[in-house]
Structure 1
């Protein structure tokens, strides 16, 4: 009998993965943060059968297993199922597997209980280069879609001095964007031991599960949080806080979550991979066409993929009023003509390079030494496989369908 899980490469069994996640801050501890490793796959979670073999074991197998965290970041993966787009591609897909934390998503993927998931892009960098998980980003899942929500009465980032702010994950665009805002305001983030000081201009950062953020803000245990929607929309609708700044107004059309698949499956099952990625790309095009119908599809009024109420999901997918948010300062770049959340699948190399560079300057609680050895200019080639998304974009009508440049290249725009 092998001394490691046969579904996990020998050099990274389940226990090693969990140690890596703990050491790198994936699994939180304490009230309201990510569940501990012993609870990674709870009984009420819809998990795929762990006895299933590697997705790369049978090139002719039409089955596709989808895993997701119940936030609007998962929209393309879910819409592709709800609209029957996987099935149109000849794939056999059961209802996507709902997972309860980023740690669960990582373990389910690594254990090959699912074939495709959405991950925070910085988290994908971490898993690929720190834990050596053989994954590849096949497409962006969405752009923007996040904001810094703060307690009512806070109108400037500088007012967060001496308080505690929550992030969903250390290696996230949320933490990167938040620390860009802090630097502009003259604030210093602190993690781990220590207390924030208003006079010193320090802010305590903590990792917190997104569903716990609005209650914590309402109770006053945190002064704000930066996270994906619909949790910013929830705070707005409940009038427990307001959006101080959209992350997409700090970094134009930044990727947040990305679609990730197993590297060997992409090599050994090209037809299956082509059909899978095309379904995702067609889903993004459909969501762009009718975001309100998508909100209904995702909510209990439709397929019930997400637990949040339909008004919050609809607001998260559509509400980006320049008059309202321009006056409050949440939008400071109306000339960017972007959206609250955008959907386009192409993974720009320029973004990967700049993201890694910014991650190297971002404070986290945990081991970050893997970043020191990364060359931002070469990470994209090791992390991203864009063969299938290029084919899919052409299949649905070309880059113009997503308002992308024909040459599929861009320069990053960051302005705090």
Structure 2
């Protein structure tokens, strides 16, 4: 599988020194997600597109996966690679690596893919701003992100970020939501200002940056920190002099980030096929949770090349979550939660969907957010998520109980816990 594409733009001297030191090129980082603004601008500024709603998905039953090469895609890749779709009597094409959220959305909307992972705010935007019949079928993973800063920034906690430049991958992301929760709690004000515009001592300037650009930008001191999905936090730590300031899963206990999505029309037209797909996904969740080191090696550049990072980077991104190692700064303040750096559990708790909808209304983003104004959280939790197939799969295929936070007495509901 090809994990590289042409990028002939010149490196700065700092970037060149950094990349030469670590014997890797910018291409090794490439996901080639959107340029500055990218999908974020599309979220805020794109007009409603009713034509999306009229697109009919292909009638075939071949599983066609589109994914970004991040650990959020793990269960889709495991379900294919470990033969779980085949066990269900399904044919699955080799997963297609897509290098940006916007082309993944477009490919899914056009019917090129019938199984994808999206940042959870993406289907909210697609369904309620653009009228596309997307359905969340399950969660893709728990946690799996962090806020890192440069070692010379002098930040040990959120309150130290005043006057700093922090990169986020997209305005409509769990990363932006959780970051701004922490900033507000610390008495800081998130702002969006042009590069070079002065900042007050209590302001934190946010900017959109594609994940592959974050570690080099941090090494070159173009930014003071970033919050993003793995394996780019681990890559920053190992390759760009980053230190972990806080894991997002230590702020919001076992939070969702990416979710598994399908086209509602295909779900309704072929429920038997849908159930088989979800059976494979639930089996992949359990397998990934129980075999993180093996799965990391398989997905890495040293294995099946689903991700552009070497095995040691991906393994760190999936397994390195030790309270003693991350004591300064205190990146893990709640070891009693029993969470991992990333965990895998399929159930899409309604309480989390409601929290996300309500938090999106408070979160600073670029562009127009008018579609959120009258969006009712209870309605979204009911309308956007299809609980039928994942629940049936969980009842048929145990093993998902190994994920943290499982309550045997009440496995399908929970209270959201946020500790800033």
Secondary structure class of the residue paired with 1:326: coil
Q: Describe how 1:389-408 pairs up with structure 2 within 5 A.
A: 389-397=390-398, 400-402=401-403, 404-406=406-408, 407=410, 408=412
Judge conservation of contact 2:188–2:203 (CA < 8 Å) in 1.
yes
**Does the C-alpha gap of structure 1 residues 280 and 413 become closer, same or farther in structure 2, counting only changes over 3 Å?**
same
Tell me the matched-pair count.
Answer: 371
The DSSP-based 3-state class of the residue aligned with 1:159 is helix
1:412 aligns with 2:413: no
Whole-Å separation in 1 of the counterparts to 2:334 and 2:192:
31
Q: Does 1:141 align with 2:145?
A: no
Normalised by the length of structure 2, the TM-score is 0.84
Q: Quickly say closer, same or farther: Cα 1:315–1:218, change in 2 above 3 A.
A: same
1:106-145 aligned at under 5 Å gives the runs 106-145=105-144
Distance across 1 between alignment mates of 2:256 and 2:40: 26
Distance 1:29 1:242 in 2: 26
> Where do residues 10-409 of structure 1 align in structure 2 (5 Å cutoff)?
29-30=35-36, 54-55=56-57, 57-58=58-59, 61-153=60-152, 154-193=155-194, 197=198, 199-397=200-398, 400-402=401-403, 404-406=406-408, 407=410, 408-409=412-413
Q: 1:251 to 1:169 in 2, by over 3 A?
A: same
Aligned pair in 2 of structure 1 residues 68, 266: CA closer, same or farther (>3 Å)? Answer: same
Q: SS where residue 225 of structure 1 aligns? A: strand
Query: Quick one: distance in 1 between partners of 2:218 and 2:195?
Result: 21
Deviations 1:287-319 (A, max 9, x none): 111111001110123211111111110011111
Offset at 1:33?
A: 6.1
Kindly indicate whether the alpha-carbon contact (under 8 Å) linking 1:163 and 1:197 is maintained by their aligned counterparts in 2.
no
What RMSD over aligned residues (CA atoms) do the two structures have, in Å?
A: 2.0
Kindly tell me: are residues 102 and 362 of structure 1, through their superposed partners in 2, closer, same or farther at Cα, counting changes over 3 Å? same
- Report the alpha carbon displacement of residue 36 of structure 1 after superposing the two structures with TM: 10
Cα shift at 1:197: 4.8
- 3-state SS in 2 of match to 1:215: helix
Aligned-partner Cα distance in 2 for 1:28–1:197: 27
Measured after TM superposition, the shift of residue 163 of structure 1 is 2.1
Which digits, 9 at most, give the CA deviation of each residue in 1:77-124, with x for residues without a partner? 011111111111111111101101111111111111100110000122
Q: 1:415, CA displacement in angstroms?
A: 0.9
1:307-348: CA deviations, max 9, x gaps?
A: 111111001111100111234210111121111111000000
CA displacement, residues 5-49 of structure 1 (integer Å, 9 cap, x when unaligned):
xxxxxxxxxxxxxxxxxxxxxx9654x966999xxxxxxxxxxxx
Q: Residue 215 of structure 2 contacts residue 240 of structure 2 at CA under 8 Å; is this kept in 1?
A: no
Give me the whole-angstrom Cα distance separating, in 1, the residues matched to 2:144 and 2:234: 11
Q: Taking structure 1 as the reference length, what is the TM-score of the superposition?
A: 0.85
Could you tell me which residue of structure 2 aligns to residue 21 of structure 1? Answer: none
SS for the counterpart of 2:381 is helix
Deviations 1:135-154 (A, max 9, x none): 00000000100000111032
Paired with 1:209 and 1:236, the residues of 2 have a C-alpha distance of 17
CA distance in 1, matches of 2:129, 2:194: 24
Does the CA-based 8 Å contact 1:137-1:385 persist in structure 2? yes
Distance 1:168 1:35, change over 3 A: closer
Q: Is the 8 A contact 1:326 1:334 kept in 2?
A: no
Which range moves more in the overlay, 278-287 or 402-411? Answer: 402-411
Q: Is the 8 A contact 1:161 1:196 kept in 2?
A: no
Partner of 2:23: none
User: What's 2:28 paired with?
Assistant: none
Q: Deviations over 1:194-224 (max 9, x none)?
A: 7665544111111111111101111111111
CA distance in 2: counterparts of 1:196 and 1:244, whole angstroms = 25
Contact 1:147 1:246 in 2 (8 A): yes
8 Å contact kept, 2:134–2:384: yes
